[in-house]
Amino acid sequence: MLSNTSRQAIVAAVFSLGLAGATGAATAAELVFWSMWNEPEPQAAALRQVMDAYTAAHPDTTFKVVWNGRQNQTKLRAALQAGTPVDFMDQDADQLAGGLQKEGLGHDLSADFDQATRDAFLPGTLELFNTEGKITQVPYVYNTVNFWYNKDMLAEVGGTVPATFDDLLALCGTVKAAGKSALVIEGNVAFYNVLYFSHYLARESGAGALVKVFEDKSGDGWKSPAVLAAAKATRGLWDQGCIAEDARGFQYPAGQQTIALGDTMGELVGSWLPTELTESAGADFPWGAFNFPAVKDGAGQSTDIEVGLLSMMVLKDSKNAQEAADFVKYVGSEEAQKILVEASGVGVTRKGVAWPAALADAYTSAEQATALSAFGGGLGVAYPEFTSTILNPEYNNMFLGQTTPEQFVETMAAKTKEYWAAQ
């Protein structure tokens, strides 16, 4: 026979359970987040603010963060194999697409994103890395690839933003006549320099052209007139005096520093450049950005852009997948995206959220984009090893004058045929 105390305890427990069921009270969840940022970075501080804002509105959800830095995906893969529980993570979107996403380790978020939520993203960003229409990563930071330049210098030499590649060459001559260099490179950063090739080829043949060339398994895609034209035209930037001769020997970040010093007008690179040069160029540096210009009679549009997105992914085996999905969705909200802009000075993926003043032209580029490709034409997403070990160094050798455009074409055709024969 139960005592009064026992009966009261049972009644209280039943009442409590009934109340929880009636009100839909949430179960407390501590979400484990592994991040690509280092804790001292402003982006980490901004994400902490976003998490704090979410917890303030959802007191039952808290966060445990591991700040891993840029090797986050590599470290996470090892941790998952060891059985470490992780709910969600972030990484460069192209690396993620070729890594954990390709390995099927992402949770399908499609049901969590209705049409209105999808439409709130800037054009193409949410769809760029979808797999068979499924959303497994959600971009939240947006870097565009543009020519980043000194607006005051452009005005001083009497130049205008080039609409065509021929206009760009003419601008190079105008800047050179004023005793400056129009463009600069980092001689040792091949994956930056290949941007010239991927962009020119896309302007000639349309977005995604580089991937199509490589996926001709015979290797003959490289022997098309468009590829040779792209190699010759970009190599020709040196002959036209667009790039100072000594830039061949620049070791990062020596090249971009010449922009801060006023010796060079601009560089083809991601929209992280103004942030990287804030200390040396100053917060009030007159940054402008323009897209890679059109090529005469080309199939691609100058509004087709290459991008470097950063994304979040909920892990397939997360024990708190729904709670993590709700938070990742919140990161794309207007409130969270404004925090990221204001606290860390980045571009973001939501329509209508203004980017920092220095990135204003990049926001326009993103807003008006007609097609998106990943950094370097997207080849590094599906074929990262070939891109890093073959394409980038071989193109850089040609670009810097160590081989000819014709030799580049022949080498790439042979290496591509070898690659596919080994698969």
How would you class 419 by CB atoms within 10 Å of its CB: exposed for 0-12, middle for 13-18, buried for 19 or more? middle
pLDDT at 231 over 50: yes
In whole angstroms, give the CA distance from residue 199 to residue 205. 10
358-370 pLDDT per residue, tens: 999 999 999 999 9
26 — pLDDT class (breaks 50, 70, 90): low
pLDDT at 117 over 50: yes
In whole angstroms, give the CA distance from residue 328 to residue 57. 15
Q: Which residues share a beta bridge with 288?
A: 149
Nearest C-alpha neighbor of 270 from the set 346, 214, 332:
346
pTM for this model (two decimals)? 0.92
- In Å, what is the CA distance from 249 to each residue of 90, 149, 257, 399, 403? 35, 21, 14, 13, 16
Sole residue written with tokens 């792209």: 230
Q: Which of 14-23, 59-68, 347-356 has the lowest mean pLDDT?
A: 14-23
Contact assessment for residue 99 and residue 77, using Cβ atoms and an 8 Å cutoff:
yes
63 — pLDDT class (breaks 50, 70, 90): very high
Q: What is the pLDDT of residue 2?
A: 40
pLDDT at 16 over 90: no
Q: Which residues share a beta bridge with 145?
A: 270
Q: How many percent of the chain have pLDDT more than 90? A: 92
- In Å, what is the CA distance from 371 to each residue of 119, 123, 129, 193? 16, 8, 13, 21
DSSP labels for 310-341?
EEEEEBTT-TTHHHHHHHHHHHTSHHHHHHHH
pLDDT at 3 over 70: no
What the block records as the tokens of 7 is 């009966």
- In Å, what is the CA distance from 287 to each residue of 68, 83, 147, 153, 211? 31, 47, 10, 10, 32
In whole angstroms, give the CA distance from residue 200 to residue 233. 8
Q: Return mean pLDDT, the chain.
A: 94
Nearest C-alpha neighbor of 271 from the set 308, 311, 237, 296:
308
Structural domains for the chain: 4-139+311-356 (3.40.190.10), 144-306+373-421 (3.40.190.10)
Q: How many Cα atoms sit within 13 Å of 12 on the Cβ side?
A: 6
373 — pLDDT class (breaks 50, 70, 90): very high
- In Å, what is the CA distance from 134 to each residue of 21, 104, 108, 223? 32, 12, 6, 35
Give the N- to C-terminal CA distance of the chain in Å, as an integer. 74
pLDDT at 23 over 50: no
148-204 pLDDT per residue, tens: 999 999 999 999 999 999 999 999 999 999 999 999 999 999 999 999 999 999 999
In whole angstroms, give the CA distance from residue 146 to residue 271. 7
In whole angstroms, give the CA distance from residue 270 to residue 332. 21
What is residue 32's three-state secondary structure?
strand
How does DSSP classify residue 355? P
pLDDT at 19 over 80: no
Q: What is the pLDDT of residue 209?
A: 98
Q: Per-residue pLDDT averaged across 205-222, rounded?
A: 98
- In Å, what is the CA distance from 279 to each residue of 276, 282, 283, 285, 344? 8, 6, 7, 10, 15
In whole angstroms, give the CA distance from residue 57 to residue 59. 6
Q: What is the pLDDT of residue 73?
A: 98
249-308 pLDDT per residue, tens: 999 999 999 999 999 999 999 999 999 999 999 999 999 999 999 999 999 999 999 999
In whole angstroms, give the CA distance from residue 335 to residue 401. 49
Q: What is the pLDDT of residue 306?
A: 98
pLDDT at 10 over 80: no
